[in-house]
A and B are shown apart, each in its own frame.
Chain A
Amino acid sequence: MQQNPTDPNSEYFDQWGSSLKQWFQEKPHHTYGADTKTEHVPLAPEVIGHIGTFPVTNSLVFSILVTILLSVFAIVFSRKITVIPGKLQSFIEVIFEYVYDLGESLAQSRIETFFPWVMTFFLYILAANLLALFPGVSTIGVNVMQEGQQKFIPLLRSINSDLNMTLSLALLSVVATHFFSLKFIGVTDYLKRWFSLKMFGVFLFVGILELVSEFTKIISLSFRLFGNILAGKVLLKTSWSVSAFIVPLPFYFLELVVAFVQAAVFMILTLVFMVMLSEKHHS
């Protein structure tokens, strides 16, 4: 066969395909950057140690680290709060006031109860997403031998790229939503939402749909956050594999936006769910 690039049956394409396959096999040895040990991003978090019998994962360590950082910041900041605010206080006040006013327009006086929850979701997810972009997260780790193969295990893993974490947040969000619903509308009205006295025909179907939608909330909240952050992580790893310099930069900017958007989406959805379920159902 002739080597003709215009002929799909020519040897040219076979040779090109073989060389490309070979390049991919050898790629880890030719890339630059901190994490050149593996291109694989595992779905499950890696266990990096044990406390007694409790297996500690890298995402859990990072989660505790974020919690400590936010707590320390809150404690230090609380001592510096003044009536005439500085730049940082003004910035924080603007965010709080915006969220509080937004919530107040939807939930009226109930925002006093909802605000700590939705704001903590926002701050926690935002801080976790932003800190995950710092150098060292997912790139500093140890090499261990597993099943006869060397495997790289990072010491820190982005919290929201672990389904345990996002699922836990989503469960908390939905549980808190139902708790507030019971608190604000009472047991009778709460149950009426799901189980009508006319439990036949369309009412029964609507009740079942409502119940299913509650489970859907857990899945949508957890998988949206998890999917976006994990995809970002994969994107960044892929860009590192091309080059550790310049190439990942646009993706870092993209991830900054994604970090903020996902935190805001989780917060707003939780707020909306809380508002919807804490209002009396008019069927």
Chain B
Amino acid sequence: MEKILTDFGVQPIYLVAQAVNFIILLLILKRFLYRPVLKVLEHRKKTVSDSLRKAEQITAQLQKTEVKSAEKLSEASKQAQVIIANASKTADRIIAEAHEKAQVDVDIMIEQGKQSILVEQEMMKNEMHDKLAGLVVLGMERIAGKVLDLPDHTKIVDQTINSLKEEISTRAL
């Protein structure tokens, strides 16, 4: 064994020297190479995992928002349909009411018209009676040459009116 070590030039001092050399290198590399590089790798891994997590959160949020918006849209559509139905009902009711009111007004107006016509008719009848009576009196005065008294007037007027009435009735038939 000793001969082998001598042949290969193995000496404890060189083993120690090399070991010290290696340990110095190990410490330097650990301080200046491994630690910063591993730190950067760790930082990058963390950034990537954070980004992925955020992206997942955003996707989940987006899906939730989509579901919510669909729900809102559906709800709004239902509400709109209800509003439209209500409006339609209200409109029908208003139209019906307006119709009814207009009918009532028309009836009232017709009734009022009828009343007015009747009044006008009566007034015209009376006026015509007076004018006719006047004309008859005037005619009789011219024919008889005397001024008729009240009983004469009344008698003549009644006779004329009765004859007129008969005439009108005959024409109407």
A169 touches B18 (CB 8 A): yes
- A168 / chain B contacts, CB cutoff of 8 Å: 14-16, 18-19, 22
Q: Does A247 contact B (CB under 8 A)?
A: no
B33 → chain A, closest Cβ, in Å?
A: 4
Q: Is A124 a contact of B22 with CB atoms below 8 Å? A: yes
Contacts of A274 in B (CB 8 A): none
Whether A70 contacts B11 in the complex (CB less than 8 A), given A77-B32, A92-B37, comes out as no
The interface stretch among A29-37, A93-101, A181-189 is A93-101
CB neighbors of A among B20-44 (8 A): 21-26, 28-30, 32-34, 36-38, 40-41, 43-44
Chain B residues near A169 (CB-CB < 8 A) = 18, 22
Taking CB atoms and an 8 Å cut-off, the chain A residues in 104-140 that contact chain B are 115-117, 119-120, 123-124
Chain A contacts for B21, CB-based, 8 A:
60, 63-64, 67
Q: Which residues of A contact B37 (CB under 8 A)?
A: 81, 89, 92-93, 96
Q: For the complex, is B13 an interface residue (Cβ under 8 Å from A)?
A: yes
In the assembled complex, the Cα of A267 lies from the Cα of B53 at a distance in Å of 36
Chain B, interface SS category: helix
Please classify how large the interface on chain B is, using the bins under 10, 10 to 19, 20 to 34, 35 or more: 20 to 34
Contact of B29 among A45, A119, A162 (CB under 8 A): A119
Q: Quick check: A78 and B36 within 8 Å, CB to CB?
A: yes
Taking a contact as CB atoms under 8 Å apart, the answer to whether A172 and B19 are in contact is yes
CA A81 to CA B23, docked complex, whole Å: 24
Interface residues on A, range: 35 or more
Least Cβ–Cβ distance between B89 and chain A, in angstroms: 68
Binds A, one of B2-10, B126-134, B138-146: B2-10
By beta carbon, the residue of chain B nearest A159 is B18
Per-residue A-contact encoding for B72-103, CB less than 8 Å = 1, 0 else: 00000000000000000000000000000000
Nearest Cβ on chain A to B66's Cβ, whole angstroms: 35
CB proximity to A under 8 Å, residues B37-79? 37-38, 40-41, 43-44
CB atoms of B9 and A43 under 8 A apart:
yes
Given the known A-B contacts A54-B13, A124-B22, A168-B19, are A96 and B41 also in contact in the complex, defined by CB atoms under 8 Å?
yes
B154 CB, min distance to chain A CBs, angstroms: 133
Q: Is A264 an interface residue (CB 8 A)?
A: no
List, sorted by A's number, 7 A–B pairs whose CB atoms are closer than 8 Å: A54-B13, A83-B40, A93-B37, A100-B41, A115-B38, A162-B9, A172-B23
